Amino acid sequence: MCSNHTSNLDPPVVGMTASRTIHFIAKEELFSGKILGGILKRVHAFPVKRGLADRNALRGGLKILEEGGTLGLFPEGTRSKDGKPGNALPGVGFFALRSQAEVVPCVIMSDYKLFRRTKVVYGKPMAAEAFRKNKSSAKEMSEGIMEEIRNLYEIHKN
């Protein structure tokens, strides 16, 4: 499950609207607090060390996918400042290319203000097979996923 990212509320919103349990990767710093760290572990989140290839997080994510679980990722790696989907980092492409899992693009349309509507739209599952055949890099696969998220955003922004 890959979504745009505009707020700290995005993971719970995706988690509540999805039909499956989602395991999210969250930045390691969030796990240092007792309360938030405990909550994150209970909602199937696990830490990643940002800025480098965290082998434990990569192995953990692949294991979840191999076992038929759902991994929730935000391809941009950080929140968008302007609310529009940005550029993807290669991490989501790595998981897509290394597993047999399909990628479900998702877009969240919300400014998370009281009494305002939050819209969550799920796209059609994407297979990575065409990217594998073309020997695409993880970055190219990530950008392909992000393009689908941008398309959903453009279609549903009004």
Which CATH architecture best describes the domain 2-156? 3-Layer(aba) Sandwich (3.40)
- pLDDT of 51 strictly over 80: no
What is the tens place of the pLDDT at every residue in 76-117? 988 888 878 889 989 899 999 999 899 999 999 988 888 888
Annotate 13-46 with b (16+ C-beta within 10 A) or e (fewer). bbbeebeeebbbbbeeeebeeeeebeebeeebbb
Provide the residue ranges of all domains of the chain, joining segments of one domain with +: 2-156
Rg, Å, the chain Cα set: 15
- pLDDT of 44 strictly over 80: yes
pTM: 0.88
What is the rounded CA–CA span in Å between residue 93 and residue 140?
7
Q: How confident is the model at residue 21 (pLDDT cuts 50, 70, 90)?
A: very high
